[in-house]
Amino acid sequence: MAAPRLLLVEDDPALAELLEFRFRNEGYQVQVTPDGDEALLLAAEEAPDLVVLDWMIEGTSGIEVCRRLRKTKATAHVPILMLTARGAEDDKIRGLETGADDYLTKPFSPRELLARVGAILRRIRPALAGEMLTVGDLTLDATAHKVTRRSQVVALGPTEFRLLRHFMEHPGRVFSRNQLLDAVWGNESEIELRTVDVHIRRLRKGIEVEGAPDPVRTVRSAGYALEAV
Amino acid sequence: MAAPRLLLVEDDPALAELLEFRFRNEGYQVQVTPDGDEALLLAAEEAPDLVVLDWMIEGTSGIEVCRRLRKTKATAHVPILMLTARGAEDDKIRGLETGADDYLTKPFSPRELLARVGAILRRIRPALAGEMLTVGDLTLDATAHKVTRRSQVVALGPTEFRLLRHFMEHPGRVFSRNQLLDAVWGNESEIELRTVDVHIRRLRKGIEVEGAPDPVRTVRSAGYALEAV
DNA sequence: GCCAATTGTCACGCAACTGTCACACAAGGG
DNA sequence: CCCTTGTGTGACAGTTGCGTGACAATTGGC
């Protein structure tokens, strides 16, 4: 399956950056926002697997974010882990009553947070471990037949999917059209060489997202390669 | 067997609503009342499998409800889990003496409560705590042969049930028609591949409820997968 | 035995995908 | 600069794969 996707709601820039870094290193896809209202939007649009929510944030308060996440249909089931200040027992109580699934008291170690997040995700989605390929901002889950670019799912046809998988299994390497025909279409196919071009184009079109450069490199008179961007 | 039935006695509306929501999501049937006397009536009439009882409720006090539940023949053996305020050791002791089976100190996480309830049911009535699978808004009770979507029971034929169970045991994963035939029909079946399509359709039709998207994903030229929605 | 539910197949139609082409465009050599 | 070679692009018809409704055969309860 695709990498677990987190939404981190944290308005301390230093802490946010640190956590984002650690999470990414663990293979999560992370979105960060300091703002409660934006968090609600992101949660509804991106459907993250888990929300890490700081209690004290600007804009809409943590408790209100929590409540509204639960009330919105699209986000009603998202697990919420909240971060509270030390000793704020009241907040803790209200947080759990509002629907948070777990809490962590500051100061906490990133390691502990990672452990909690892992525990919650394992409980909610036991099948979070499929064979995953990652090249740059591209993620391909062979088991779930899903491709993700910059955290958003992209749609590919069957041939484009096989093509991309082959590229991702050998990132950076240049393949000639003949090699691609062998690998993707099968050894004894009688396909026109130029047909590869067309599918390369369809692949490019399929994985293009706003503001992301084309990771497919054309090597004139040699073939194509996938670059990590 | 039917889904486990809970009676929740809680007079804080917010907490009551939250817990009811969570319990239903786990496939329980829940009745809620803020009032002790009404709780006694409901317990006698509905014969729930377990009572979750807040200590501090309006009307008859928690301890009195507990005592009278035990005195009434119909409800003498119903397991009781009580919710106490932090540090009220006295209540805890008196509660257990009065016949409660377990207690939980506020603040508690909904997860913790769910875990306790599951534990009690497994201990008191092993048959009641069937293996439950949850994927998105779908809940499947293997032992009761019951499937719930968004808290409402849906009807499936035997084949559709096995099909759904197999999907729910591997959420997100794509299965080819052949794999599904092996897993759901048995290894040496001589069934047409396309027959799978028809049962997929029947499964889709079976689990469709108003306003909920289709969780069964078609992966062209590959097979089908169940998505957590 | 009878009725209702379930099951496996099939044929049809639509939507998505595929391979190919013609042409436009870019890159490099002389 | 022109010419050759190689690649991008849009369109198009043929093919494939899937959804759907219908139907007869089978099963299982009463």
Residue B34: which pLDDT band, with cuts at 50, 70 and 90? confident
Domain boundary among B124, B149, B172: B124
For residue B128, report the phi and psi dihedrals to the nearest 5 degrees. Answer: -80, -30
Helical axes A89-98 vs A62-71, angle rounded to 10°: 10
Same-domain status, A49 and A120: yes
Q: What is the mean pLDDT of residues B211-218?
A: 94
Domain with residue A217: its CATH number is: 1.10.10.10
pLDDT at B1: 46
pLDDT at B214: 96
**Nearest partner of A134 among A175, A180, A158, A167, judged by Cα:** A167
Q: Is A213 on the interface with B (CB under 8 A)?
A: no
- A158/B109 touch (CB, cutoff 8 Å), yes or no: no
User: In chain B, what percentage of residues exceed pLDDT 90?
Assistant: 27
User: How much of chain A is helix, strand and coil, in % rounded to 5?
Assistant: 40, 20, 35
- Which is more confident, A124 or B69? B69
B175: left (phi over 0), alpha (psi -120 to 50) or beta: beta
What residues of chain B lie within 8 A of the CB of A143, using their CB? 172-174
Domain boundary among A68, A91, A124: A124
Mean pLDDT of chain B: 82
Rounded distance between C-alpha atoms, residue B172 and residue B226, angstroms: 5
Bridge partners (DSSP) of residue B216 are B226
Distances (CA, A) of A209 to A33, A137, A138: 21, 11, 11
Domain with residue A113: its CATH number is: 3.40.50.2300
pLDDT at A43: 84
Domain boundary among A124, A158, A180: A124
Same-domain status, A84 and A147: no
Same-domain status, B10 and B119: yes
Nucleotides of C under 7 A from a protein CB: 5-11, 16-22, 27-28
Same-domain status, A101 and A173: no
pLDDT at A217: 96
Same-domain status, A42 and A76: yes
Same-domain status, A139 and A214: yes
Q: Which of A73, A101, A126 sits opposite B110 (nearest CB)?
A: A101
Same-domain status, B53 and B97: yes
Same-domain status, B111 and B221: no
Q: Is B222 on the interface with A (CB under 8 A)?
A: yes
Rounded distance between C-alpha atoms, residue A93 and residue B225, angstroms: 39
Same-domain status, B68 and B145: no
Same-domain status, B16 and B107: yes
Mutate to test the interface with A, among B83, B106, B111 (most CBs of A within 10 A): B111
For residue A81, report the phi and psi dihedrals to the nearest 5 degrees. Answer: -115, 125
Q: Is the CB of A195 under 7 A from strand C?
A: yes
Nearest nucleotide to A220 by CA–C1' distance? D6
Same-domain status, B114 and B144: no
The residues near B7 (Cβ < 8 Å, ≥ 6 apart) are: B30, B31, B32, B33, B39, B42, B43, B46, B48, B50, B51, B52
How far, in Å, is the CA of A208 from the C1' of nucleotide D13? 27
Q: What is the mean pLDDT of residues B64-74?
A: 80
What residues of chain A lie within 8 A of the CB of B148, using their CB? none
Q: Is A162 on the interface with B (CB under 8 A)?
A: no
Question: pLDDT tens digits for chain A (229 residues)?
Answer: 457 788 999 888 888 888 887 787 677 888 888 888 888 888 877 778 889 988 877 767 777 888 888 777 667 768 888 887 655 555 555 555 566 777 777 777 776 787 678 767 765 554 444 568 889 899 999 999 999 998 789 999 999 999 999 999 999 999 999 999 999 998 777 899 999 999 999 999 999 998 899 999 999 999 999 999 8
Same-domain status, A89 and A146: no
Rounded distance between C-alpha atoms, residue A107 and residue A84, angstroms: 9
Bridge partners (DSSP) of residue B35 are B58
pLDDT at B188: 67
Structure tokens at B120: 């009690």
Terminus-to-terminus CA distance in chain A, angstroms? 22
User: Taking 80 as the threshold, does the pLDDT of residue B132 lie above it?
Assistant: no
Q: List the domain range (segments joined by +) for residue A161.
A: 132-226
pLDDT at A127: 47
- Which is more confident, B55 or B88? B55
- Which is more confident, B42 or A125? B42
Number of structural domains chain A divides into: 2
